[in-house]
Chains A and B, each alone.
Chain A
Amino acid sequence: MTSELHSRLLAFGLIVAGLMVFLHKTVTYDYPIFPDATRTVWNLEILIEFAADNRPVRIETFLPAQSDDRELVDEQFYSGPFGLRLDQEGEGTNRKAIWTYRYPEGPKVLRYRTTLVEEGRDTPLPESMRREGRSVDLTFETSLEQQAFLVWMSDLRRRSADKETLVDLMLQEVFSPTFSDEVAALVQPLPAPLGRLELARTILETQGVPARIANGVILDDARRRAETVSWLEYHLDGKDQRYFPIGKPSVFFPIWYGLEELVVAEGITELSTQLSLQPARLVGGSMLANGAGSKDPLLTLFSFEELPLTTQLVYQVLVTIPIGILILVFLRQFVGIQTLGTFMPVLIGIAFRETALLTGLLLFSLLIGLGLALRFYLERLKLLLVPRLAVVLVFIVLCMAFITTLTVDSGFRIGLSISLFPMVILTMTIERMSIVWEEYDGAEAMKQGLGSLVVACLTYLAMTHPQVEYMMFNFPELLIVVMGLCLLMGRYMGMRLSELRRFRELSRAD
């Protein structure tokens, strides 16, 4: 039994080593074991990719501006060979990074990263916005615009009681899905919400209300590709106001003000800008603060903090997968649940990440059901195996497209999330299930299908549990512990729970 002893020693060695690092971090450096409940710190990364072809290049991008009220921790620039200049405009509202290079060649990447504190509706507007402005007179390009402005304003004034109701009424009409001829004539041809925002802003200024257009990100969840949104900030009757064209986010972060785009580039092709956001609770607020990471090589070895944010977000998912696998191994070796395919339930569990549990279950069952029906029909056509699989796969894509369009129209957001639902996994599940169905019976196929779903649900719940995510991401050394546990389970020779049932006739004492 040398292999027995060998594997046990290795398993205990791994578990002890992993736990040692874990204890070292928690006891010596006081790393928090629980995620911070108040998640007010976020990591923001702006990643700019482009192709250069030997022409002078100039990339300008807005950065969050620093001020007395706002502190940006840990700003990092990745510029490569590019020259970098920071430019704070005017009164310190907008800040720009300007990257330049004379003769760059090939694909290039520029990166900016910072940690920021989220802002909300109570965040005060700067003092300069609080001063009651004087009414600005508008200049119009055509008499038609002037006419429209005058008619609309007198109409608004007639229907409102004071400045506040006038502003409310104005905003409501500017942002209503269908607007009157007057508004239509005044809206400028700018990208989607900006035209209307700019119109609202000018109208506010004619009323002596200081206003500006803010552009930034909404902080609701970790995102690898965050969209920038624009909103209106104004100060009326001693109160700070923010108007969001879509939704009412409670926490957000403005990056720049005005009508310009985030990134302006010259001399390049194929520009792609990616904003990513991650709540810093996953990186661990206090770890950042005590800065222990730089001293101890053990800490930097078992940490994802140094990685770019986009990569960190990928690892945040990857490191939880072994937990799912651990559960799967347990369910197979100790409980004896039968599933279709070895690791397929975990793959399905990962797919649920895109759809959330209930929708995922629903979609999965629906698609499997439809696919099985098609598979039984195809049986009569007598096709070869691989083309048959291909037909099922195309059918699955069609069904997904159909479900997506159907649900988008009816207002559900189910369809939008399934785009990455793994079709190949679905197709193989259908094929396996139909073979089991033929060779045994429907009951056996259902049993294995349900078994897979149960395991998928359990692994999904474990993999997405905030505490599990937090622990695995901040203490990657636990992966070694997981490996040791799997080794131990690999030598389990006792009965499975299902076998107690199977051999129940023999287990009666006689």
Chain B
Amino acid sequence: MRLLKAAAELRRKGILGLNERNLRLVGELNPRHLMRLVNDKSITKRLAVSAGIPTPDLIGTIRTSWEMRYLSDMLAHPGGVAIKPANGSQGNGILVITNPIKGGYRLANGARIDYGDLRFHVMNILSGMHSLGGLPDTALIEQRVRFAGIFDDVSFKGVPDIRIIVLKGVPILAMLRLPTAVSDGKANLHKGGVGVGLDLVTGASKLGMQHDKMIDHHPDTGHGLSGLYTPHWDEMLLMAARAYDVTKLGYLGADIVLDAERGPLLLELNGRPGIAIQVANRFGLRPHIEPVLARDTSVMSLEDRIAFGKEIYRAIHAGTESA
């Protein structure tokens, strides 16, 4: 009975489960043949660049073990690089190198790595260890993002990023994802990263969650999570909404990082974004998706869609957000 009560309460709050996400959002709005555009990060990057969405610069790709010979040249790129599997998911297989040191390289988390270990890592990427379905993959070497210091107080060694959920081109929810000691520098929530709800209208941070539990301070730095303002917020919403125009995926998660020099950069797109964002925001997705699903957004301009998203958000959270 307790379970039934809990289920009823979740329903009342409009919390979406994985089954419903898969059927109504991913299944209905994301045709299988378009998923390729976001699953393969090299395609995503090309699309983004063509649409004028800024992304970290691509230094090079390694497709075959024969091309491994160019690896050390690529790693010598000033300012550091990130090595990623093109078809990786959930942040797996990503290695961030800050600078070469004697006999190896310095990783973003401070550890050092041999050149041999690095080669092995790239070989594993090529053989498909991190790719969906274990198919042979490509390794992308791209410019390391140097994070703007804005979230330093609430990050532990790594990459804070901003996830914006875009439904049929309308940004509806957002959260800030912060790395922690347990998440090993990654901001992915299922690895122990902290999710912080963001006000869609202002970009201000609210309270957060870790491991599906609510928190209001960062577990490692102890700083309060709420009240931080995300710079370039409207630009980020614009980038996320524009990502829909180039991919046509109706349910999309845009991951954006803030570079110290270049401002917001689109890191990657996700064709089946998770539902933990509901815990981070402490409310359900359903009231936010229903008005969008009921409306034909294909006739709306980019600016109109963003305004529509903000309007929905404002209508739902009118009384609660003033504090």
Binding site for B on A (CB under 8 A): 333, 336, 382, 384-386, 435, 439-440, 491-497, 499-500, 502-509
Contact = CB atoms under 8 A, between A and B. Distances in A.
Interface string B4-16: 0011011101010
Contacts, number: 77
Contacts of A506: 9-10, 13, 15, 278-279, 282-284
Nearest to B93: A439
B279 A495 contact: no
B124 interface: yes
A500 B23 contact: no
B214 interface: yes
B7 A495 contact: yes
B19 A503 contact: no
A439 B19 CA distance: 25
A506 B24 CA distance: 22
A439 B92 contact: yes
A496 B127 contact: no
B38 interface: no
18 contacts: A333-B19, A385-B124, A491-B23, A493-B17, A493-B24, A496-B19, A497-B3, A499-B10, A499-B17, A500-B6, A500-B10, A504-B6, A505-B212, A506-B9, A506-B13, A506-B15, A506-B279, A507-B10
A440 B90 CA distance: 11
Contacts of B120: 382
Interface in B110-130: 116-117, 120, 123-124, 127-129
B129 A385 contact: yes
Contact of B3 (A333, A382, A435, A500): A500
B212 A509 contact: no
Contacts of B191: 440
B53 to A, nearest CB: 29
Contacts of B212: 502-505
B187 to A, nearest CB: 15
Given A382-B120, A503-B212, A505-B214, A494 B19 contact: yes
Contacts of B303: none
Interface string B247-291: 000000000000000000000000000000011001110000000
A386 B127 contact: yes
Interface string B276-314: 001100111000000000000000000000000000000
Contact of B15 (A385, A491, A503, A509): A503
B57 interface: no
B19 A493 contact: yes
Contacts of B9: 506-509
Nearest to B209: A505
A287 B169 CA distance: 63
Contacts of A492: 19
Nearest to B212: A502
A144 B92 CA distance: 82
Contacts of B33: none
A494 B7 contact: yes
Sorting the interface of chain B by its residue count into under 10, 10 to 19, 20 to 34 or 35 or more gives 35 or more
B18 interface: yes
B134 to A, nearest CB: 8
A505 B279 contact: yes
Contacts of B283: 506
Contact of B116 (A382, A494, A503): A382
Contacts of A497: 3
A503 B13 CA distance: 11
Contacts of B117: 382
A492 to B, nearest CB: 6
Contacts of B11: 495
Contact of A500 (B7, B116, B128): B7
A333 B18 CA distance: 9
A74 to B, nearest CB: 50
Nearest to B4: A500
B153 interface: no
Contacts of A502: 212, 279
A495 B17 contact: yes
B18 A503 contact: no
Contacts of A507: 6-7, 9-10, 13, 15
B213 interface: yes
B129 A496 contact: no
A494 B286 CA distance: 13
A435 B129 CA distance: 8
Contacts of A494: 7, 17, 19-20
A385 B127 contact: yes
A153 B302 CA distance: 109
Contacts of B213: 505
Most A CB within 10 A of own CB, among B17, B191, B209, B214:
B17
A347 to B, nearest CB: 17
Given A382-B116, A499-B17, A503-B212, 4 more contacts: A496-B17, A502-B279, A503-B10, A507-B13
B63 to A, nearest CB: 15
B289 to A, nearest CB: 13
Contacts of B282: 506
Given A491-B23, A497-B3, A503-B279, A385 B17 contact: no
A292 B204 CA distance: 76
A507 B117 CA distance: 46
Q: Would you list the 3 A-B pairs with minimal beta carbon distance, nearest first?
A: A385-B127, A382-B120, A507-B6
A198 to B, nearest CB: 61
B10 A384 contact: no
A503 B17 CA distance: 9
Nearest to B117: A382
Contacts of B284: 506
Interface string B121-165: 001100111000010000000000000000000000000000000
Nearest to A3: B28
A493 B20 contact: yes
Nearest to A493: B20
A464 to B, nearest CB: 30
B154 to A, nearest CB: 20
A100 B10 CA distance: 77
A296 B127 CA distance: 57
Contacts of A493: 17, 19-20, 23-24
Contacts of A440: 190-191
Interface string B182-204: 00000000110000000000000
Nearest to A496: B17
A505 B6 CA distance: 10
A333 B19 CA distance: 7
A335 to B, nearest CB: 12
A48 B178 CA distance: 71
B18 A496 contact: yes
Contacts of A499: 10, 17-18
Nearest to B24: A493
A505 B283 CA distance: 11
A440 B7 CA distance: 29
B23 A495 contact: no
B139 to A, nearest CB: 14
Contact of B127 (A336, A384, A495): A384
